[in-house]
């Protein structure tokens, strides 16, 4: 019987996605900062929930939230793509 050592490699990396210019081209500088903060919040929330960030919201949806200056849960349901999940997304945003 022969035995061979089995090696293990552990790689750790951080994926950094630059926002698409088309998503943020229409935003002011303050809007871009808000958009980036929403992306960071989404990433943290997704990691805690063990899901991909796009399940919570797509980049285009975050940009639309910023552009329309959404401030209420009621207004969130008018953001394209949230549809039936606007309440769940709103609850995530609140807490």
Q: Contact at 8 Å (CB) between 55 and 41? A: no
Domain 26-94: which CATH number of 2.40.50.100, 1.10.10.410, 1.10.150.80, 3.40.50.11780: 1.10.150.80
Enter the pTM of the model: 0.66
For residue range 42-72, list pLDDT tens digits in order. 999 999 999 999 988 899 999 998 999 888 8
Residue 83: CB partners within 8 Å, gap ≥ 6? 77
Q: Contact at 8 Å (CB) between 82 and 89? A: yes
Where are the chain's structural domains?
Answer: 26-94
For residue range 2-14, list pLDDT tens digits in order. 555 666 666 666 6
């Amino acid at each position: 019987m022969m035995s061979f050592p089995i090696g293990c490699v552990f790689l750790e990396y951080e994926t950094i996605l630059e926002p698409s210019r088309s998503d943020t081209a229409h935003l002011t500088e303050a809007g871009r900062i808000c958009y980036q903060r929403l992306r960071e919040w989404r990433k943290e929330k997704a990691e805690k929930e063990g899901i991909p960030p796009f399940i919570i919201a797509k980049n285009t949806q975050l940009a639309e939230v910023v552009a329309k200056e959404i401030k209420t849960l009621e207004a969130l349901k008018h953001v394209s793509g949230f549809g039936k999940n606007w309440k769940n997304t709103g609850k995530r945003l609140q807490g």
